[in-house]
Amino acid sequence: MRFMGLDMTKDATRAALRDCKRMVVKIGSSALCADGGRFAQVAEQVATQVRAGRKVV
């Protein structure tokens, strides 16, 4: 996984994001348009971050 240009483990990425106040999320259109509920998963994850007080762009 890459975070801010660095290769990081999933746990290290989560730790780095734990204290952030703003997140920028880039999502490909194929991930949003594909069948399988991916759009709903992304929407729920964004909602969770907003409820936690983060701004998601």
Joined tokens for residue 37: 């509920």
In the beta sheet, which residues pair with residue 55? 22
Give me the residue label for tokens 């990425």.
13
Task: Supply the pLDDT for residue 3.
Answer: 58
Q: What is the pLDDT of residues 8-42, one digit of tens each?
A: 777 877 787 888 899 888 888 877 777 777 888 88
Q: What are the Cα distances from residue 36, in Å, to 8, 28, 30?
A: 28, 15, 12
Task: Supply the pLDDT for residue 33.
Answer: 79
pTM of the complete model: 0.66
As a whole number of angstroms, the distance between CA 15 and CA 6 comes to 14
As a whole number of angstroms, the distance between CA 57 and CA 27 comes to 11
Task: Supply the pLDDT for residue 22.
Answer: 92
